[in-house]
Chain A
Amino acid sequence: MWRDALLVAAKDLRIEMRSRVVANQVLPFAGLTLVLFAFALDADPTVLHATGGGLFWVAVLFATVLAVQRSVGVESSNGEAGEGLRMAGIDPAGIFLGKSAAIGAQLIALEAVLTIAVAILYHLRIQGVAILAAAAILGTAGLAAAGTIYGALSASSRVRETLLPLLFLPVVAPVLLSAARAWQLALAGHPGPGAAWLRFLGMFAVVYMVTGTLAYESIMEDG
């Protein structure tokens, strides 16, 4: 399982290194949403300062949807989602862990760049780095795991592009809530209460990683 996971993750990351879809399309899109938020909020420094952490995570959520779509798209040729991977004979749990790990790694890199962007655009002073990083890592693990599950659930549907956000976004609402609160508190200089939100993020990540590992075979082997 772990060997297969490593193989799949390395393959997906290599594809991203070559095609740079996440780097050249998803990342600019996430940056764009940050700019659009500023327009919507009249670029009011106090408002942006107070809401920066939350807006950052909304942008990350949208980017996750696109990254998951891409991850599913890589495996689809002529609407036969995942047929190649199934024929390759890889353990489904390995596919799940590998795909999640690749999505997670891409999102972490994206978040690092976005953090700099919010700091500059919204005049945020980056502080409480330990909390920020912990929330980002735990939150991203949960997002990647849930995203991979829902990506596969909607994969062979003809309405994949529209179905995924509807299924996925309500499920990850707790991640948005917890990660945004943790970030906001840390950025405001009160990392103490922020740390408590990490519990939820950790719980979410564990629950969805276990669920995905157990359920992925059922999802992939239904056709």
Chain B
Amino acid sequence: MGPLETQPLDLPEVPVPTVRLRGAVALLGTFPALSGLDLDVAPGEVAVIRGANGAGKTTLLKVCAGLVPVVTGEATVLGCDLAADRRGVRRRIGLLAHSDHLYDDLTPRENLVFLVKAGGGSPRSVDYALERVGISGRLATTRVASLSAGQRRRTALAVLVARQPGLWLLDEPHVTLDTEGREILDRVIAEAAAGGAAILLVTHEAEVESRLLGLSETASVVTMAGGTACSHLRRVPGGSGQAREGAHVA
């Protein structure tokens, strides 16, 4: 990356960040996957996370989801202190992980109805959500086991659409999606961000990254290495969509 023009960025208009990590250390077994990470993600922000394999990107998402505890440091998500309660906040978080957590023997519709009801929601949003990701008609009533990888991913995305979480955690969501699927994903993300949800998205693809940065008024790029965030660059509003013209806030 080229030389950065750093300038302090103050965000008085955002009182409570959706995700706030300070010196967060998280262990996988005994390995420090996160080694003291600082991160703020504001409501409505699309934060693209990048970094080499093993940089701690997936662990970051799992920490935000309350699945992996923070052993030292602070972690607050959607106003909840994760040190005190990692479970209560999960109904308001959507995680699209590498493995999609769908039940193979149920149909996409049954999967969605179960997960939406489990989150305390109304199953009325299910049909709309499936329609939205292009899993409709016969597909919605076929067993998930016989869907293609891309269709499974769309179904998993539909869960988030139906549950309308305040924080979206997406781990390489574009992988396995076709062009149409990627467009749907982009639109869904843009809508969620416009509705005030914060989005953390891991990707390795430069093309995906530059497209995503155009999706929200507040988009940013977090570069991770060694379990920390080396930089967090925000796109300057009205800029050309390139993060590197933004400000260094790390």
Q: Do chains A and B touch in the complex (CB under 8 A)?
A: yes
Say yes or no: A87-B68 contact (C-beta < 8 A), given A15-B106, A221-B86, A221-B87.
no
Rounded to whole angstroms, the CA-CA distance of A88 and B117 in the bound complex is 9
Measured between beta carbons, the chain B residues less than 8 angstroms from A7 are: 114, 117-118
Rounded to whole angstroms, the CA-CA distance of A84 and B106 in the bound complex is 14
Q: Are A15 and B103 in contact (CB under 8 A)?
A: yes
Q: Are B105 and A19 in contact (CB under 8 A)?
A: yes
In the assembled complex, the CB of B243 is this many whole angstroms from the nearest CB of chain A, namely 29
Name the segment of B17-25, B36-44, B92-100, B210-218 touching the other chain: B92-100
Rounded to whole angstroms, the CA-CA distance of A178 and B34 in the bound complex is 51
Rounded to whole angstroms, the CA-CA distance of A217 and B86 in the bound complex is 11
In the assembled complex, the CB of B88 is this many whole angstroms from the nearest CB of chain A, namely 9
A86's partner among B90, B104, B105, B117 (CB-CB below 8 A) is B90
Assess whether B237 is interfacial by the CB under 8 Å rule.
no
In the assembled complex, the CB of B98 is this many whole angstroms from the nearest CB of chain A, namely 7
Q: Say what secondary structure dominates the interface of chain A.
A: helix
In the assembled complex, the CB of A8 is this many whole angstroms from the nearest CB of chain B, namely 8
Contact with B along A80-111 (1 / 0, CB 8 A): 10011111111010000000000000000000
Interface size on B, residues (CB 8 A): 27
Q: Are A83 and B101 in contact (CB under 8 A)?
A: yes
B106's partner among A18, A78, A221 (CB-CB below 8 A) is A18
Q: Are A89 and B68 in contact (CB under 8 A)?
A: no
Measured between beta carbons, the chain B residues less than 8 angstroms from A89 are: 87, 90-91, 118-120
Q: Are B99 and A80 in contact (CB under 8 A)?
A: yes
Measured between beta carbons, the chain A residues less than 8 angstroms from B101 are: 77, 80, 83-84, 87
A-B contact pairs, 24 of them (CB 8 A): A4-B118, A7-B114, A7-B117, A14-B105, A15-B106, A18-B106, A74-B103, A77-B99, A78-B98, A78-B99, A80-B101, A83-B67, A83-B101, A86-B90, A87-B67, A87-B90, A87-B95, A89-B87, A89-B91, A92-B87, A221-B86, A221-B87, A223-B67, A223-B68
Supply 6 further A-B pairs (C-beta < 8 A) apart from A14-B106, A89-B87, A221-B87.
Answer: A11-B103, A85-B118, A87-B101, A88-B115, A88-B119, A221-B86
